[in-house]
Every structure is written in structure tokens, then in C-alpha cells.
Amino acid sequence: MSHTDVPYDEGYLDMDLLRFTTAGSVDDGKSTLIGRLLYDSKNTFEDQIEAVEATSKKRGDENVNLALLTDGLRAEREQGITIDVAYRYFATPKRKFIIADTPGHIQYTRNMVTGASTANLAIILVDARTGVIEQTCRHAFIANLLRIRHVILAVNKMDLVDYDQEKFDTIVDDFRKFASRLDNLVDMTAIPISALHGDNVVDKSDTMPWYEGPTMLYQLENVYIGSDQNHVDARLPVQWVIRPHSDEHHDFRGYAGRVAGGVFKPGDDVVVQPSGFTTKIKSIETLDGPVEEAFAPLSCTVTLEDEIDISRGDMIAKPNNPPEKGQEVEAMICWFSESTQLQPRGKYYLRHTTKEVKAIVQEVRYKVNINTLRKIEDDKNFGLNEIGRVSLRTSAPLHYDSYRRNRQTGSFVLVDAQTNETVAAGMIV
């Protein structure tokens, strides 16, 4: 198998990019599905296939085990499990894909959260024999919490239920009932597949004539993600101040950063937080000369009409639509640390966009039982993989949006002041 039948043309220089995450347990066939996607879309190389064939043979596997294509570190291969987020890449003539491959067991919730944080789409795998189980609900809950708008419900192992439509329909109904409580999932597509045999993954299957929907790859290639970026609320967190100190650019002061929302153009009125000074955008500079606009998620350098004291961590926005400002925020957090629990009144560094402040967790409001979605209000101990709502107070004002409105300006991490470990991920309510 090789790339030989992939046509090459100039279009390759101009593809869309889709980031997706896959959640499922070892038994759901997640690794087999990813292996199948890579293999059938001709994104595997001969030396990789040879290595996998050799390993399969050595282990006495009956078929070539496509799951081995995505196995990473030796520690994992020995244990036969995936313990961290692994990133995979493949492309078709239409799109480039980045897969955040995460283990699905409850003890890896934090990895799922990590993988989901940058994803446009989530594939949630269900075993056709067992249907929607606790774990399925947990995956859907996390996808929703991290504001993934698009979900593919992949009902796998259809070969083991005789490709039965009724089985499939029941599972889809069950999932829809649950998902109706999740408000961020705007788009759900259910696909009956067999990752082992390749049915409806890349190629349409003859075994399920009753299914008239897209194959998985078709859906990945065509799902519309253009409106996922916020192009309304202009936000530019300042990352770095460019001062060349050269004769040629003697007075040049450029404010560099990655646009986190909206659109900036020369002549636009802007306000700089926290100082609150207003000015106008003078120019947007690049190596290839000035450009007419900058928008999310592009990295840019802007110059301003007036000399204002601006440093890293400041936020450039529009005066008629500034971000929220405050030292007290409410947030949903997921605890990441294996070694420490959340300390009530404990002090942490809070990293938000390009800013770092100190923060105290004032109160744990509640935790969520992520299998039942029930609130837990009588147990405030916050440990590894737990998700819940807290109130925080920061040492300096944050300029933020709700996570629901903007994933970049609405998110933060907490860092342990002693160990420097990233101990929690937070989404501002």
C-alpha cells in the first residue's frame, strides 16, 4: 500500500485543516479505527506496514493488527494500552487532519480533556454489542464541556451484530436522548462501521445497504467548520513587543500576538487593557510587507498610532466590544495532578492567554459525576480527573470572555507554585 494513487496538484498547497479527537476504550477498537483510516486513505508507508506485519506475526496475531500502526512508546506496547494523548496526521486531497488520539478509560479523563481542547470534532466510539454505556456519556459530556461542536457517533463492530439496522437505530436514539442535554453539540452524525473490516470507514460498505449516510472519511472531509472561529469579538493578547533598535526601524514598536477573535484592520479604534487607553491601529506588519487585515487564528504584528506603554499579557480589543474584566471568576475545571489535590484557599499561578497572575481557589461549588452528570455537593475534595465548578480570585484583573464565547480568551490553566506542574485546566463560565 502506498501513496501512488493519490494525485498531486497545486491544490495540495491550499487544504483545510481539521483537528479531531477520538475517544473510546481499548475494546472499542479505537486504535483499529485510526489504523484503518490511515491505511485505507493511503497514508501509511511500506516500512510502517512491514514493521506492523512483523510485530503481528511475532505476537501470533491472526490478521495484520492495524492498531499497531498507532502504538507509541515501548511502555505502552508492553502493557497494550495508550496512556497519553498521541497525535497522528494524515491528509486527503481535500483536508489535512490532526488526530488527538486519547485513551477513554475514566482514569484518563484529563487526557481526553487535553485532546478535546484543540479539536473541532470528536469521534465517539460505541461497541454495537453493548450500545450507549456510561463511558459513552462521559465522552459526550467532555466533548460538550470543551465546546466541540461536531460529533461523529461511530457505532463500531457492526460485523458482530450481523450489520443489524435495528441495533444501530436503538443506539442512535439512546445517544440522542442523552445528547439533547448537551448544548454545545450542534451537529451529530451517526455512522455504522466495522473498523476491522473497513465498512463505512473510508469506503462505503455493501453489507449495510440500509445506511444511506456518509462514510466516516467523507464526513471528516466535508463537515463545515468555517463558523467555529469567533470573527466577531476582536481580541489580540500581546505576546511580545518588537523593538528592532536599528537605524532603519528606529522608532518601530510592534505588538506581536495571535489573534484570539475577531478582525483587526488599519484605522480600527482599539482599546488596550488593562491601561484602558484608546488609539487606532496604524499598520499590520509582516516580512512580506504590510497587510490589510488580521483575524483569528493568525499570528500578526500590529503598530499603533499613539505611543502607549504596552507589554506582554496586555489585551488589544475594540472599545465598543471589550472583554469582561474582573478578579473574581467562576469556572469549570478539570484536575490534572496525580500527586496533589486541589487545596482549598491554595495559591496557584493562573495562566490565561499570554498573562500570568496568582490565583486562589475560593470555593469548590460542586463536582460533577461525569458518568451520571449529577452534581456532587457534599464532597469538595478535588483530585485527579475530577471535574467541577469553582470560584477563583486573582491577584490582578483578567480580561476574559466566557469559554462558551471564545475558547482562547475563556480558558486558563493552574500551575502549582512549588512544582511548576500544570495541575488544572479551566473554562470560564
Looking at residues 130 to 169 of the shown chain, list those that interact with other proteins (rule: CB under 8 A): none
CB of 363 to other proteins, least distance (A): 23
Q: Is the peptide bond before 209 cis (omega within 30 degrees of 0)?
A: no
Cβ atoms < 10 Å from Cβ of 42: 17
Q: Which of 299, 321, 327, 395 binds other proteins (CB under 8 A)?
A: 299
Q: Which of 23, 85, 142, 190 binds other proteins (CB under 8 A)?
A: 85
Q: Which of 209, 276, 297, 326 binds other proteins (CB under 8 A)?
A: 297
Q: Please state at what angle helix 165-179 crosses helix 134-145, rounded to 10 degrees.
A: 50
251 contacts other proteins (rule: CB under 8 A):
no
5-44 positions binding other proteins, by CB under 8 A: 6, 8, 12-17
| Residue closer to other proteins (CB basis): 87 or 210 | 87
Q: Which of 26, 64, 81, 98 binds other proteins (CB under 8 A)?
A: 98
Cβ atoms < 10 Å from Cβ of 311: 11
114 contacts other proteins (rule: CB under 8 A):
yes
Q: Which of 110, 139, 235, 389 binds other proteins (CB under 8 A)?
A: 110
104 contacts other proteins (rule: CB under 8 A):
no
300-319 positions binding other proteins, by CB under 8 A: 301, 312
Q: Is the peptide bond before 274 cis (omega within 30 degrees of 0)?
A: yes
Q: Which of 62, 212, 251, 287 binds other proteins (CB under 8 A)?
A: 287
248 contacts other proteins (rule: CB under 8 A):
yes
Cα 240 to Cα 236, 253, 254, 261, 385, distances in angstroms: 11, 10, 8, 18, 34
Kindly indicate which of the ranges 163-171, 269-277, 364-372, 419-427 contains the residues binding other proteins, using the contact rule CB under 8 A: 419-427
392 contacts other proteins (rule: CB under 8 A):
no
Kindly indicate which of the ranges 94-102, 205-213, 325-333, 369-377 contains the residues binding other proteins, using the contact rule CB under 8 A: 94-102
46 contacts other proteins (rule: CB under 8 A):
yes
Q: Which of 32, 111, 205, 385 binds other proteins (CB under 8 A)?
A: 111
Kindly indicate which of the ranges 47-55, 177-185, 319-327, 390-398 contains the residues binding other proteins, using the contact rule CB under 8 A: 47-55
Residue positions counted in the chain: 429
Up-side HSE of residue 320: CA atoms within 13 Å toward CB?
4
Residue 18 carries which side chain, given as an amino acid letter? L
CB of 330 to other proteins, least distance (A): 18
320-379 positions binding other proteins, by CB under 8 A: 336, 349, 351-354
Q: Which of 263, 360, 373, 376 binds other proteins (CB under 8 A)?
A: 263
Q: Which of 57, 59, 75, 181 binds other proteins (CB under 8 A)?
A: 75
Q: Which of 120, 184, 239, 283 binds other proteins (CB under 8 A)?
A: 239
74 contacts other proteins (rule: CB under 8 A):
yes
Q: Which of 67, 113, 217, 392 binds other proteins (CB under 8 A)?
A: 113
For residues 253 and 237, give the distance between their C-alpha atoms in angstroms, rounded to a whole number: 16
* Contacts for 69 with CB less than 8 Å, ≥ 6 apart: 31, 34, 35, 38, 39, 44, 48, 52
Sign of the dihedral through C-alpha 424, 427, 183, 119: negative
Look up residue 140 and give its three cell numbers. Answer: 459526550
Cα 296 to Cα 120, 225, 271, distances in angstroms: 15, 14, 18
Angle, CA 296 vertex, CA 290 and CA 299 arms, to 5°: 50
Q: Which of 155, 318, 411, 428 binds other proteins (CB under 8 A)?
A: 411
DSSP string, 223-285: ---GGGS--SS-EEE--EEE---SSTTTT--EEEEE--BSEE-TT-EEEEETTTEEEEEEEEE
* Contacts for 387 with CB less than 8 Å, ≥ 6 apart: 109, 113, 145, 332, 333, 334, 335, 367, 368, 370
Count of chain residues binding other proteins (CB under 8 A)? 84
Nearest alpha-carbon partner for 301 in 353, 258, 355, 244: 258
CB of 425 to other proteins, least distance (A): 5
183 contacts other proteins (rule: CB under 8 A):
no
CB of 358 to other proteins, least distance (A): 13
